């Protein structure tokens, strides 16, 4: 059963999943600002096998703030960023929240790289954990806890 779906602006790339995300997080690193073209990026974290993707994608590898590569998947036609595959967390994908058909379904619980957070970003009380750096170990622990609670 499809629980969430989304895609790019032109409709070439579509995806669907039967799961809720393991974690929804905001990233305030400078690289994400450049990659996304916006002041902050919000990702829904999924296991790679949990999302069915159709359509022609291109990949752009870039070095993340951790020094490891993230492989950015984007629509070959409209250029919309759809997801990132981070080498630092193998087997997971970060789906860009804005690509979901209903991005209102999610709110970030965790934020990382808060030291480069825009001063205008105050959140709406949804953030429960904030890390000045990439908080990788803590995020892996959160992923594990949330995985058990999903249906
Ligand atoms: Zn497209
Ligand atoms: Zn980032």
CATH number for 35:
3.90.1590.10
Distance 1 CA to ligand 2 centre (A): 31
Closest CA to 80 of 104, 62, 64, 96: 96
Domain that holds residue 83: 4-149
Closest CA to 36 of 99, 87, 86, 102: 99
The number of the ligand nearest the C-alpha atom of 73 reads 1
- Hey, what are 142's tokens? 């959160």
Distance 14 CA to ligand 1 centre (A): 9
In tens digits, what is the pLDDT along the chain, a chain of 151 residues?
999 999 999 999 999 999 999 999 999 998 998 888 888 899 999 999 999 999 999 999 999 877 899 999 999 999 999 999 999 888 999 999 999 999 999 999 999 999 998 888 877 788 888 889 888 778 878 877 777 667 5
Q: What was the pLDDT predicted at 121?
A: 81
Distance 7 CA to ligand 1 centre (A): 8
Q: What was the pLDDT predicted at 120?
A: 84
Q: What was the pLDDT predicted at 148?
A: 67
CA distance 23 to 42: 11
Q: What was the pLDDT predicted at 100?
A: 97
Q: What is the pTM of this model?
A: 0.87
Count structural domains, the chain: 1
């Amino acid at each position: 059963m499809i629980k969430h779906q989304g895609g790019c602006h032109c409709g070439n790339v579509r995806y669907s999943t039967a799961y809720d995300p393991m974690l929804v997080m905001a990233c305030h690193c400078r690289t994400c600002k450049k990659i996304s073209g916006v002041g902050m990026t919000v990702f829904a974290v999924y296991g790679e096998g949990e999302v069915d993707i159709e359509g022609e994608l291109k990949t752009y590898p870039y070095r993340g703030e951790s020094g490891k590569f993230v492989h950015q998947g984007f629509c070959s036609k409209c250029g919309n960023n759809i997801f990132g595959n981070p080498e630092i967390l193998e087997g997971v994908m970060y789906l860009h929240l804005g690509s979901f058909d209903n991005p209102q379904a999610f709110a970030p619980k965790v934020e990382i790289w808060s030291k480069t957070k825009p001063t205008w970003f105050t959140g709406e009380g949804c953030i429960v954990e904030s890390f000045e750096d990439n908080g990788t170990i803590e995020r892996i622990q959160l992923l594990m806890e949330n995985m058990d609670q999903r249906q």
